[in-house]
Amino acid sequence: MQEDGKLSTTSSFKSSFRQSEDFIDTTITVPPDGGWGWIVVLGSFLCNFVADGAIYTFGIFLDDISRTYHTKATVVAIGNSLMTGFYYFSGPITCALVNRLGFQVTGFLGGVIAAIAFMFSTMTTSIGGFLVVFGVIGGFGFSLVYVPSVVVIGFYFERWRALATSIAVTGSAAGIIGFPMIIEGILAKCSWQTKFKVISGGCVMASCLALVYRPLRATHVLTKDKKLIQYISGDTFDSIGSFHLEEKPRLLDKLLKRFHNAMYPTASQLHKESTFVMNFPEGPSTSSVFISSVPEGSATTFMKVTPSKIDEKFDRLSTVFEDEKPKRNKFKDCLRKLCCGYKCCKWCCGSTNKNRPMYRDDIFYGGSLYTLPGYIPSRMSQTSRKKSFDYTMSVTRIEMLREGTQERVHYKCCPESVMRTLVTMLNFQLLKSPSFIFLALSGFFTLLGMYIPFIYLIERANESNLSRDVSYYLFTALGTSNALGRIISGIITTLPRAKPLLVSYVSLFICGISTIISYFATDVYSQFIYVSVFGLTIACLASLRTPIVVELLGLENLTNAFGLLLLFQGFAGFSGLPLAAQIVVITQSYNKCFIFAGCTLTLSAILLIPIKQISAWENKKKANK
């Protein structure tokens, strides 16, 4: 279509909302904030126990594996470097898979892949084969385990998110405590190959635990009368469903404008009217809540409607809705008759409605939502519940569907749910922000030195002539203090006047300085004091990073920033232990590499100090423009 010399293209792709003459219907997912969610927290805790326990305590195996392959312990440590690098580096891909396949499938596949990595790494005949199988495949598998276990908490919880997240991530600290006890206690007389096979069984258990991450039922939102929606500079949606571009964009601009999550309107932007709750059905369908929108200023009334009546209301609205009725599947009917476990499997796998967690702006926010400006806590009253739903609508981006039912596919093989996640998380435009650059570099230097104490803790204890039995208790002290630090960090995020940035750089500075000082104090009591301080202060990394991002860049940029931070941390994971290994080779001392670790941690703290001032200057510059 040619108009005023400009090329205008139209594609009739509808959103996750359904449109008739009188109604616009969208679907959002409202966190239940309890119930089955606490089972999900338990599953997440145990998955973190397996994944992070295996990664952080790999140093226990260095001597045994190095003797098997007749190589140095520093070479074996590269396997952990590869694992941590791929653990972080494949994060955006894992998030895209979570958005497309769901929590259950992604977590299940991750556990299976990690189990295969541990099992087959015991069968390799060369150190090179061991490093590839254990590091690359194992790292990707644990990434598939870790991301769903963290993201699912934000999808299930709102009011209690900070508490639930703190409990779930404490599983990492429990793994640091538990793995040495299992490996050097119960399995003390077994070979490292047998111990790896036991860990492989733990990974299979983690894949089964991922099945408790049941998808949530969708909540319907209806708005009366059609609206003209305009968003994205230069682009419009008119008649809701027709997409116009003023000119043919370049590939990069097309990706950013068409697939960046921030370019899509939120559900509240689509429904520019107040909402009220029409029903809260009791029984097994309590998660299926029906919401309707009415013009602002009009009297709101509350109605009790059963789910069956809701479906009848949809049928009466328009024939457009009939296209989305589930078609009868003969195979499932046969399976229902032949397999007595069909209902059990259906209960386990949950609703057929696919959730899109990456379409929520706050999905990676691990702190308390009470500290967010737009959040209004949910109470038992109907009015407060309405405000809570309004918040959910304000952070949920709409989904574009083809013919109202099918997900749009781009480039013949990439669904929209995958494309949008990758483009949003890997948008390098954010690197133009000086404050984010400082934050990303701080994360890089933190990861550069963080894993060195975990991996070389036992080696340094042996070098200092500490008893082997005593040295393994260092992990117990480290894990206990780390668990305490994660709980304290979680409490800090719930305080409205707390300053996560201040707490982060003070904690990292103490962590770095204590690591440097530990070089001079190698007796048993000093080592226990050091690991206790290190575990307590390094815990802020997981709990306070996302609140800092939101404070500096806003909630709408959290997903983008999280994706880029994963890349920086992945590069640090690849390079941290190899650099430490070179220091060990040159100095012939494991103690020397702790100075390197302490310097990188201290530098990461220093980089956080001017971020607040840089962010203020940056915002002032934007305001002047």
- 185: domain CATH number is 1.20.1250.20
How far is residue 108's CA from residue 97's CA, in Å, rounded to a whole number?
12
Of 527, 507, 520, 524, nearest to 602 by C-alpha is 507
Distance set, CA 589 to CA 515, 593, 599, 600 (Å): 15, 8, 17, 18
Establish if 268 belongs to a structural domain. Answer: yes
Q: DSSP labels for 369-426?
A: GGGSTT-----SSHHHHHHHHHHHHHHBB--EEETTTEE-EETTTEEHHHHHHHHHHT
Establish if 25 belongs to a structural domain. Answer: no
> 436 and 418, same structural domain?
no
> 228 and 170, same structural domain?
no
Establish if 10 belongs to a structural domain. Answer: no
Establish if 85 belongs to a structural domain. Answer: yes
> 235 and 194, same structural domain?
no
Q: What pTM does this model have? A: 0.78
Axis crossing angle, helix 73-89 with helix 62-69, rounded to the nearest 10: 110
> 248 and 205, same structural domain?
no
> 208 and 255, same structural domain?
no
> 184 and 43, same structural domain?
yes
What is residue 36's three-state secondary structure? coil
Q: Give the pLDDT confidence score for residue 602 in this predicted structure.
A: 94
What is residue 46's three-state secondary structure? helix
**For residue range 308-356, what is the model confidence (pLDDT) as tens digits?**
343 444 333 332 233 333 444 444 454 454 444 444 444 444 444 467 8
Q: Give the pLDDT confidence score for residue 385 in this predicted structure.
A: 55
Last residue of a domain, one of 215, 248, 263: 215
> 471 and 323, same structural domain?
no
**Residue 170 near residue 45, CB atoms below 8 Å:** yes
Establish if 21 belongs to a structural domain. Answer: no
**For residue range 344-361, what is the model confidence (pLDDT) as tens digits?**
444 444 444 467 888 888
**Residue 396 near residue 390, CB atoms below 8 Å:** no
Give alpha helix (H) positions in 518-539: 524-538
- Strand 400-402 with 290-294, pairing: unpaired
Instruction: Tell me the two tokens of residue 11.
Output: 């594609």
Of 358, 355, 356, 354, nearest to 421 by C-alpha is 358
**Residue 263 near residue 257, CB atoms below 8 Å:** yes
- Strand 400-402 with 414-415, pairing: unpaired
Establish if 39 belongs to a structural domain. Answer: yes
Give the bridge partners for 61, in sequence order: none
Non-local CB neighbours of 188 within 8 Å, separated by 6+ positions: none
> 208 and 300, same structural domain?
no
> 482 and 395, same structural domain?
no
> 390 and 271, same structural domain?
yes
Non-local CB neighbours of 102 within 8 Å, separated by 6+ positions: 213, 215, 354, 355
**Residue 81 near residue 577, CB atoms below 8 Å:** yes
Distance set, CA 459 to CA 241, 465, 537 (Å): 62, 10, 22
Instruction: Tell me the two tokens of residue 406.
Output: 């099918």
Q: Give the pLDDT confidence score for residue 108 in this predicted structure.
A: 94
| b (16+ CB within 10 A) / e for 28-37 | bbbbbeeeeb
Range of the domain at 548: 428-620
Question: In terms of residues, how long is the chain?
Answer: 625
> 206 and 67, same structural domain?
yes
Establish if 15 belongs to a structural domain. Answer: no
Non-local CB neighbours of 303 within 8 Å, separated by 6+ positions: 278, 279
Last residue of a domain, one of 165, 196, 215: 215
The burial class, CB within 10 Å (0-12 / 13-18 / 19+), for 258 is buried
Q: Report how many domains make up the chain.
A: 3
Of 402, 364, 411, nearest to 542 by C-alpha is 364
Instruction: Tell me the two tokens of residue 285.
Output: 């369908």
Of 551, 562, 542, nearest to 424 by C-alpha is 562
Please name the helix (run of DSSP H) or strand (run of DSSP E) that holds residue 243, with its range, or none. strand 242-245
Q: DSSP labels for 534-547?
A: HHHHHTHHHHHHHH
Establish if 155 belongs to a structural domain. Answer: yes
Of 457, 485, 484, 456, nearest to 473 by C-alpha is 457
How far is residue 551's CA from residue 136's CA, in Å, rounded to a whole number?
34
Give the bridge partners for 407, in sequence order: 401
Of 51, 49, 76, nearest to 61 by C-alpha is 76
How far is residue 113's CA from residue 105's CA, in Å, rounded to a whole number?
12
**Residue ranges of the chain with pLDDT lower than 50?**
1-22, 225-248, 273-332, 334-335, 337-353, 378-384, 403-405
Q: Give the pLDDT confidence score for residue 356 in this predicted structure.
A: 83
Calculate ∠ Cα 406-411-413, nearest 5°. 65
Last residue of a domain, one of 370, 400, 426: 426
User: Strands across the sheet with 235-238, in order?
Assistant: 229-230, 235-238, 242-245, 9-15, 400-402, 406-407
> 487 and 438, same structural domain?
yes
